[in-house]
Amino acid sequence: MFKGSYVALVTPMLPDGKIDVPSLKRLVEFHLNNGTHGIVAVGTTGESATLPFQEHIDVVKLIIEFVDKKIPVIAGSGANSTAEAIFLSEQMSGLGVDGFLSVVPYYNKPQQAGMVAHFNAIADATDIPLILYNVPGRTVADMLPETVAELAKHKNIVGIKDATGDLSRLEQTKKMVADDFLFFSGDDESGCNFMCKGGDGVISVTANITPKIMSDMCEAALSGDFELSQQLNKQVIDLHRVLFVEPNPVIPKWALYKMGIIDDAFLRLPMVLPELNSKKAIEEALSALNLI
């Protein structure tokens, strides 16, 4: 189903706050030309938290149009309100998305039983495959392996994006679910090791900047060439780290702007442009990779 390097795509914006459609098209073409295996549209890296529903849906629709069925598109459909997540899923079900990615509700801090009820309700509302997203560093609430195993019983819940960086979670959870349940790393720094230990892919912020290296790394790992996978990962290990010196997607947007792929690094408030030291750090990393 879904395998390899999926980019957690940023959403280009203009200084007046509108979506930068030409930059978005150029960004999608950048990924189509550099081996990205799939796109996650308007996930948390795409600033889903600050896009109104209609704008969220419109951006997903544009990405599907630009991709033109060449690679899968997974749409972010998460919300900390179950009703809102269901509404988004229903509204996007007819757009041609290949899957949904839904994050653990943030701020609410739901109990594990609440997470089960939340995701089962979303999965009941559509027949499109749903990937769970656990990122306790952003949501505070942590979805435990036992909860994942319970949710994996639902026919529409097909995998998880795990951004904990805890590789023991992969081994622990794999023992509890069917062999075809998918595991994506959501932590770029440990993503290569995650794949070498049996993961199916990465949903990557770094792939915004170096899609070819990330797709090659994933293909090597999936083919069992772990030595090559590690070698490729070493090329971007510093980039993995510097992309998160400020909250995501502040640094990735600045990097893409400096590379000339998007026309502006504008972010929706409360996010703002990076500090001078952060700009210097990412520009040094990009120079080291001959990207600027």
CA angle 80, 201, 2 (to 5 degrees): 75
Q: 208 with 7: CB under 8 angstroms?
A: yes
Q: What sign does the CA torsion over 255, 261, 265, 270 have? A: negative
Residue 31 has pLDDT above 90, yes or no: yes
| Interatomic CA distance for residues 205 and 203, integer angstroms | 7
- CATH number for the domain whose boundaries are 4-236: 3.20.20.70
Do 115 and 134 contact (CB within 8 A), yes or no? no
Q: Is the peptide bond before 270 cis (omega within 30 degrees of 0)?
A: yes
Measured distance CA(290)–CA(234) in Å, rounded = 15
DSSP bridge pairs for 74: 40, 99
Query: Is residue 107 among the annotated active site residues?
Result: no
244-273 pLDDT, tens per residue? 999 999 999 999 999 999 999 999 999 999
Which residues are paired to 204 by β-bridges? 7
- The backbone region for 108, taken as left when phi is positive above 0, alpha when psi lies in -120 to 50, beta otherwise, is alpha
Number of H helices, E strands in the chain: 13, 8
pTM: 0.97
Question: Does the pLDDT of residue 1 top 90, yes or no?
Answer: no
Mean pLDDT across 124-150: 97
161 is annotated as an active-site residue: yes
Give SS3 for 130. strand
278 secondary structure, DSSP code: H
Give the residue extent of every domain in the chain.
4-236
Share of the chain above pLDDT 70, in %: 100
C-beta separation of 102 from 69 below 8 A: no
Angle at 65 between CA 248 and CA 207, to 5 degrees: 30
pLDDT tens for 176-189 read 999 999 999 999 99
Q: Phi/psi at 79 (nearest 5 deg)?
A: -160, 160
pLDDT tens by residue, 164-211: 999 999 999 999 999 999 999 999 999 999 999 999 999 999 999 999
- From the candidates 6, 161, 253, 257, give the one annotated as an active-site residue: 161
Average pLDDT over residues 159-166: 97
Q: Which residues are annotated as a binding site for pyruvate?
A: 45, 203
- Pick the catalytic residue from 6, 106, 133, 257: 133
Tell me the two tokens of residue 259. Answer: 């590379």
Phi/psi for 20 (5° steps) reads -90, 90
